Chain A
Amino acid sequence: MENTKKRIQDETNFSSPLGVGGNLVPLQGLGVSSPLGVGGGSSFRILKNKIAGGVMFTITLASILLVILVGLGLYLKSVPIFQQNSFWHLVTSSEWKPGNGEFGFLPFIAGTLWITAIAVILALPIALLTSLFLTEFSRTAVKKWVFTALDILAGIPSVVYGVWGTLFVVPWISEKLAPHFVEYSTGYTVLAGGIVLGIMILPLLISLFVEIFSAVPREFRDAALSLGATKWQTSKYVILRKTFPGILAALILAVSRAFGETIAVLMVCGNIPLLPHSVFDSCYPLPALIANNYGEMLSVPLYESALMLAAFLLFIVVFIFNASSRAVIYRIERKFK
């Protein structure tokens, strides 16, 4: 009897998460009649259920803690460098001489920002137009083809983008494009990094945009079209305006992806720790700095701490960007539901 009572209680407990609270009272009466519930095995099954719940809770909690752990670990590792230099000095100085204890991060931060800005300027219009085309204009057959192309683009490993960059983009810049603007350029430039990165974030941007545009209810479009608007006017005045926060959020997400991209950018942007003055100068983004110097960092004092600070900066930027843009996207999805 004790057992049955407990069982009923349990049954009540796990029915409620499903949101069928209204049915609970009749269910309590019916619960006993379940064919599997009789016999000595049931308390063991309930125990197993509880233990599994505990284990799963632990795994979930551990992965939440991982975020904090990574942040904290990187911060603690970068503390030693703060004892000799102020944070402000570190991010505004452009002297990078690890041997002399000079750690100025400005060239690297500037390199990352330049490349990301170019990537976004190139990718945003293409992504917006393509995703509007996919959601508002195109037929299903066309959609299938474009999505296949995007899947391939998303699947190409970043090192292959880097190889493509050195084979195609870099020579194109140094031979065709740069001579029109500057006297000489190796091609390993900010622009090359921006172009490669722009193409790399295209699939992410388009898939997010398509998701957001498809969340706009049909009635909005119908209303605009019935007032005599063309499809483009509908897209421009209804879809884009309604989803503007979402577009912004998707963009932030793509930017944070671009920030961390390492190997492809490292291969095409020249890696010279100087402030770039034009798009035809070389630059040296933060992730490339970490990747290139990890081997030798243990021999120079404070070097490890400086590189950890670079990783910590990346982490913080990505953390803030992701958290805020996700919050916006959640809200939009809920609004249209």
Chain B
Amino acid sequence: MPCLYNNRKNIIMKFKFIEEKVAKVLMIVSSIAVFAFVLNIIYTIFRRGIPALNWDMISKIPAGGYYNGGGGGILNAIVGSLYIVLGSTILGLLISIPVVFYLNVYLKKDSKLAYVARLAFDILFGIPSIVYGAFAFTIMIFLGMHTSLGGGILVITLLIIPIFIRSMDEVAQHLPKDLLDATYALGATKLETIKVVLRQIAPGIATATLLSVGRAIGDAAGVMFTAGFTDSIPTSLSQPAATLPLSVFFQLSSPNADVQDRAYSAALILIFIVLVISILGRLITNYFSKHKI
């Protein structure tokens, strides 16, 4: 009898370890799968994008008949995307830094307003860009505006403010209390502590900027109706502007195989810009982290 009991116990013990092994293998497999997806996506885009890539693509605007296989490039879309990203990032920072400062310095920790505001930003974060786009388009029609660079910048700003605020807030919430007390003890007003707070949340600002630039440059649905599309480079806020994602999308919808190949090159350029921004951003984040307590 004791022998049988021992045996069963042994089997159960063994099963436990077999299960552990199986689970571990499954986990490793799924982690490798994540890698495989990344490599597959980048490889696929590179393989199809490299052949059609040339200097004209990134240095010229579309010539006549570009979408039927004519000459030219997508400089209009590259510049348009950069304008929109730059404009919306600056606007977004100007709006979100005060909000984060207000939530964390002016308001109490258990303030109802802060709770509601954080919830609101979480909801805004979740709203799809197509909904922002549709909403903004209706307002633009209502105001009698046309698709324009300015409209695109506004929509993308709406889209990235929640990202800015959420990721800065995460850092600001862990601000050491003693630090604020120290500035108050020196006679600073709440507003004046911003000099200290900004230095402390600088890495958070850098990360937030990184995240939102990535989202801003890749968004297509939001700018589709608000920024429009054009073959020239916009010279004022009221002119329509082309964007890279839309340029990829329109070229891919073309029945012409040459133009489709260019869509792959455009996608490659887009991926390249995103990767460069994220690497630069990482370096900048590391640099800013040195003031952190």
A interface vs B, CB < 8 Å? 10-11, 14-20, 30, 34-37, 45-46, 48-49, 52-53, 55-57, 59-60, 63-64, 66-67, 70, 73-74, 77, 125-126, 129-130, 132-134, 137-138, 142, 145-146, 149-164, 166-168, 199, 202, 206, 230-233, 235-236, 253, 256-257, 259-263, 267, 287, 290-291, 294, 307-308, 311, 314-315, 318-319, 321-323, 326-327
**Contact B103 A60, beta carbon cutoff 8 Å:** yes
Q: How far is the CB of B269 from chain A (nearest CB, A)?
A: 10
Pick the contact of B267: A11, A160, A259, A262 (CB < 8 A): A160
Q: Which B residue's beta carbon lies closest to that of A287?
A: B130
Q: A34-B187, A60-B117, A126-B33 are in contact. Are A291 and B221 (CB under 8 A)?
A: yes
B interface vs A, CB < 8 Å? 16-17, 19-20, 23-24, 26-31, 33-35, 37-38, 40-42, 44-45, 48, 95, 98-99, 101-103, 105-109, 111, 113, 116-117, 119-132, 134-135, 137-139, 158, 161, 165, 177, 180-181, 184-192, 214, 217-221, 224-225, 245-246, 248-249, 252, 263-264, 267, 270-271, 274-275, 278
Pick the contact of A230: B16, B137, B263 (CB < 8 A): B16
> Which residues does chain B contribute within 8 Å of A287, judged by CB atoms?
128, 130, 221
**Contact B278 A151, beta carbon cutoff 8 Å:** yes
> Which residues does chain B contribute within 8 Å of A133, judged by CB atoms?
24, 27-28, 30-31
Q: Which A residue's beta carbon lies closest to that of B41?
A: A164
> Which residues does chain A contribute within 8 Å of B248, judged by CB atoms?
159-160, 163
> Which residues does chain A contribute within 8 Å of B135, judged by CB atoms?
70, 73-74, 311
> Which residues does chain B contribute within 8 Å of A132, judged by CB atoms?
27
> Which residues does chain B contribute within 8 Å of A323, judged by CB atoms?
119, 122-123
Sample (29) of A-B pairs whose CB atoms are under 8 Å apart:
A15-B181, A30-B185, A34-B185, A45-B189, A48-B189, A56-B101, A56-B102, A63-B95, A63-B121, A66-B120, A66-B124, A74-B131, A77-B138, A129-B27, A138-B31, A151-B278, A152-B42, A155-B275, A160-B218, A162-B252, A164-B41, A202-B37, A231-B20, A233-B16, A233-B19, A260-B131, A262-B128, A311-B135, A314-B131
A110 to B261, CA, bound (A): 33
Q: Which B residue's beta carbon lies closest to that of A128?
A: B30
A161 to B42, CA, bound (A): 10
A212 to B33, CA, bound (A): 22
**Contact A153 B221, beta carbon cutoff 8 Å:** no
**Contact B122 A326, beta carbon cutoff 8 Å:** yes
> Which residues does chain A contribute within 8 Å of B126, judged by CB atoms?
253, 256-257, 260, 318-319, 321-322
> Which residues does chain A contribute within 8 Å of B221, judged by CB atoms?
262-263, 287, 291
**Contact B124 A159, beta carbon cutoff 8 Å:** no
**Contact B274 A157, beta carbon cutoff 8 Å:** yes
**Contact B121 A152, beta carbon cutoff 8 Å:** no
A159 to B252, CA, bound (A): 10
Q: How far is the CB of B209 from chain A (nearest CB, A)?
A: 13
Pick the contact of A290: B101, B130, B177 (CB < 8 A): B130
> Which residues does chain A contribute within 8 Å of B124, judged by CB atoms?
63, 66-67
Q: A150-B34, A163-B263, A290-B130 are in contact. Are A262 and B20 (CB under 8 A)?
A: no
> Which residues does chain A contribute within 8 Å of B26, judged by CB atoms?
129
Pick the contact of A294: B19, B111, B137, B188 (CB < 8 A): B137
**Contact A158 B218, beta carbon cutoff 8 Å:** yes
Q: 9 tightest CB-CB pairs across the interface, nearest first? A: A260-B128, A157-B218, A34-B187, A56-B102, A36-B187, A133-B27, A49-B189, A262-B221, A159-B245
A186 to B218, CA, bound (A): 27
B123, B161, B190, B219 — most chain A CB neighbours (10 Å):
B123
> Which residues does chain A contribute within 8 Å of B217, judged by CB atoms?
157
**Contact A130 B278, beta carbon cutoff 8 Å:** no
Q: Which A residue's beta carbon lies closest to that of B16?
A: A230
Q: Which A residue's beta carbon lies closest to that of B162?
A: A63
Pick the contact of B38: A11, A149, A294 (CB < 8 A): A149
A63 to B114, CA, bound (A): 12
**Contact A64 B116, beta carbon cutoff 8 Å:** yes
**Contact B267 A159, beta carbon cutoff 8 Å:** yes
A152 to B276, CA, bound (A): 11
Q: Which B residue's beta carbon lies closest to that of A133?
A: B27
> Which residues does chain B contribute within 8 Å of A199, judged by CB atoms?
37, 41
> Which residues does chain A contribute within 8 Å of B219, judged by CB atoms?
157-158
> Which residues does chain B contribute within 8 Å of A315, judged by CB atoms?
127, 131
**Contact A45 B161, beta carbon cutoff 8 Å:** no
A154-B214, A160-B267, A260-B131 known; 8 other A-B pairs, CB under 8 Å?
A18-B181, A19-B108, A20-B181, A49-B192, A142-B31, A145-B35, A161-B41, A308-B134
A64 to B116, CA, bound (A): 8
A10 to B191, CA, bound (A): 13
A11 to B158, CA, bound (A): 36
**Contact B267 A232, beta carbon cutoff 8 Å:** no
**Contact A162 B184, beta carbon cutoff 8 Å:** no
> Which residues does chain A contribute within 8 Å of B102, judged by CB atoms?
53, 56-57, 59-60
> Which residues does chain B contribute within 8 Å of A37, judged by CB atoms?
187
B103, B187, B191 — most chain A CB neighbours (10 Å):
B187
> Which residues does chain B contribute within 8 Å of A151, judged by CB atoms?
278
**Contact B34 A60, beta carbon cutoff 8 Å:** no
**Contact A73 B218, beta carbon cutoff 8 Å:** no
B101, B131, B138, B267 — most chain A CB neighbours (10 Å):
B131
Q: How far is the CB of B49 from chain A (nearest CB, A)?
A: 9
**Contact B123 A307, beta carbon cutoff 8 Å:** no
**Contact B27 A137, beta carbon cutoff 8 Å:** yes
**Contact A73 B264, beta carbon cutoff 8 Å:** no
